[in-house]
Structure 1
Amino acid sequence: MKLSHLIVFFLSFYLISTAISASEIQIVDGNDSPIEGLVIFLTPITSAGSDSKISPAQKSIIEIAQLNKKFKPYIKVIRKGQTVKFINKDDISHHIYSLSNSKKFAFKLKAEQMPELVKFDKTGAVSMGCNIHDWMSGHLLIVDTPYYTFTNSTGIAQFNIEKSNEYWINIWHPQLNSDNHLQRARAVFPLNQRKKIKLDKPMLEIPDQEQIDDFDFLDGY
């Protein structure tokens, strides 16, 4: 076998092995249709029912932009203790705020103004809006685990976990029709096979972030 063929063979074997070793969770609706864009995060459980020791978050700064009078991205997941940089990429003013218990804040961001930095020290969901453009909405989820991701177009979330442990599977989305927009299940990881979870209620519609009238912003705001 030629060296080039041998390299391709081992690379293909590695990719296949990696895909097989990943634990897969699939989220579907009542009609067994996959749901894309759900946040899935895992929290380890000890035999006593409390969370085990969790690795600390990286100190990197996460960016959330205001662009075309929308929050970009609409949903962002960060680790507890991380800092978010709010940056206005529009040529108009914004007044960003949150009234959520996990973090309350309010600040103005004028065009070409320096970004605003906000540190999040408490887990939970944070809903954001703009006092000037009331159709704007964005959401932050602050978690205390390194295991989090979004479901893909087939409703699947993948996790690479080598050490066997029992975890809460937390399913979250601001339009999830359940208490605190959260649904939970238990499982032992690594999974022996793909775990399929069916939501007990249909998803709510994601609101359009579009201007509903001719009002833009107040001069000199």
Structure 2
Amino acid sequence: MIKRLVFSTVFLTLSLSAQDLTITARVTFDKADGRKVNAGQAVVWLSPQDSHSNVAPPTSVQSPRLVQHNKTFEPHVLVVPAGSLVAFPNRDPFFHNVFSLFDGKRFDLGLYEAGSSRDVRFNKPGISYIFCNIHPEMSAVVISLDTPYYAIASPEGELVVPHVPPGKYTLHLWYEGALPEILRALSREVIVSEANTTLGVLHLPQAPLSAAHKNLYGRDYDPPVPASPTYARP
């Protein structure tokens, strides 16, 4: 009886896993002004429309981090499950002051020195634009999701979303600099089935050139002062 129960459980698990599908797509940009656009900055995710469906919990990212190195954030785009604790280690030989004042998560980590790290919990779905209050050239994006079905495009624009159960979903897209109304217009319903495992080619309008962002206090950045302890560590 026990062997039969174990076999039935394994068979059911394998059957359910076999139903999961791999969804593919490709992103291209309309080059209205001839600028070269990195398709690797595009993110696609699928939100199940059936609230009663058995949706797997978001896949955990192993110790998600946005590393500060050479006055950049690495990686530039980070996707995490909502509720994730993200580390912001400073690998530069000088101070940083990481902050975000936008819709996804608002925070100010203050000044912290080389070799130290601070954490932020992204406790709800949203898109957070990350900057440094000392170095205006530094920027990154953290996208926190309540669905495990997402993909970040390769530099060539290829997207692969694994382990998607058949069903009805809302397709969402994000890419650098896109206006909210453009992103809303690109959202649409898709049906995933064994006969429909591709989203096709997603033609995205090129985003406008972004203006220089302000600092933590809503003002223009001061010119760098290399001798300052907030800029370089002696």
Aligned to 1:83: 85
One-letter amino acid of the counterpart of residue 181, structure 2:
D
After superposition, what is the alpha-carbon deviation per residue over 1:24-48, rounded to whole angstroms, capped at 9, x for unaligned? 12222336x99333111111112xx
Note if 1:198 corresponds to 2:203.
Answer: yes
- Correspondence for 1:184: 187
The structure carrying a bigger strand percent of its residues is 1
The residue type equivalent to 1:148 in the other structure is: Y
Q: CA deviation at 1:180?
A: 7.5
Q: Percent identity?
A: 22
Q: Is the 8 A contact 1:36 1:152 kept in 2?
A: yes
Q: Kindly state the Cα deviation for residue 118 of structure 1 after the two structures are TM-superposed.
A: 1.3
Aligned equivalent of 1:109, options 109, 112, 117: 112
After the TM superposition, which residues 1-221 of structure 1 pair with which residues of structure 2 at under 5 Å, given as runs? Answer: 22-30=22-30, 35-46=39-50, 50=51, 52-57=53-58, 58=60, 60-107=62-109, 108-113=111-116, 115-161=117-163, 163-179=165-181, 181=183, 183-190=186-193, 191-199=196-204, 201-205=205-209, 215-216=225-226, 218-219=228-229
Corresponding residue SS for 1:138: strand
Q: CA deviation at 1:137?
A: 1.2
TM-score, normalization: structure 1?
0.74
Asked whether the equivalents of residues 174 and 181 of structure 1 are also in contact (C-alpha less than 8 Å), the reply is no
Q: CA deviation at 1:164?
A: 1.3
Q: CA deviation at 1:150?
A: 1.2
Q: Structure 1: how far apart are the matches of 2:71 and 2:143?
A: 21
Rounded to whole Å, the distance in 2 between the matches of 1:185 and 1:169 is 5
Instruction: Call closer, same or farther: CA 1:161–1:111 in 2, change over 3 Å.
Output: closer
1:220 CA displacement? 5.9
- Distance in 2 (alpha carbons) for counterparts of 1:51 and 1:38: 29
Gaps of 5+ in 2: 1-20, 32-36, 213-220
| Gap runs ≥5 in structure 1 | 1-20
Give the aligned partner of residue 12 of structure 2: none
1:111 shift after superposition? 1.2
| Count of residues in Structure 1 that have an aligned counterpart in Structure 2 | 195
Displacement of 1:147 in angstroms is 1.1
CA distance in 1, matches of 2:52, 2:102: 24
The Cα shift of 1:217 comes to 6.8
TM-score (norm 2): 0.70
